[in-house]
Amino acid sequence: MSNPNAHDIKVLNGLIETTLDSADGYREAAGETQDAHYRDLFERRNAERAKVVDDLSAAVRGLGGDPESSGSILAKAHRAFLDVKHALLRNDDSVVGSINSGENFIADKFEKSLEDGAISATTREIIRRAYAAIKTGHDQMEGLKHSLEGQRDASNPLFPN
């Protein structure tokens, strides 16, 4: 017997997988940075993403499904590549740039899920609430990336005074 909520469960599990990847990325970034402010920021984002995962997982269980419990293999490979890149560059700009790329990916995935006409109104509302938390993190990382770029440009001897 097929679950009538199968599509909603599949969409939610895809978001759980991506959000787990995001939480893992923040946890690893917190461990890599030498800056206490960044470490605190990344740890808070990790906890926020864990809460989103918990909320989405509860929704999947409520629909009669089994929530995803691990991130994607592709994301793990990507983080391994970024670990090497960060080790070579040894700066927080590379960590923030990598996080910002991940933030753009997760925001896009949530936005596409919200546009899915086949999901139920209840599931759409669950995704909308989760996306509000994701969007806050996305916007904060985007601002941090631009701030770091501005600082780097301002320290350039060619920067106009």
Tens digits of residue pLDDT in 21-72: 888 888 888 887 788 988 898 899 999 999 999 999 999 999 999 999 876 5
Structural domain harbouring 143? 6-154
Residue appearing with tokens 């060619």? 158
Residue 161 in any domain: the answer is no
Using alpha carbons, select from 85, 106, 107 the residue that is nearest to residue 32. 85
CATH, residue 147: 1.20.1260.10
Do 25 and 105 form a contact (C-beta atoms < 8 A)? no
pTM of the model: 0.80
**Total structural domains in the chain?**
1
160 inside domain = no
Q: What confidence category does residue 10 fall into, taking pLDDT thresholds of 50, 70 and 90?
A: very high
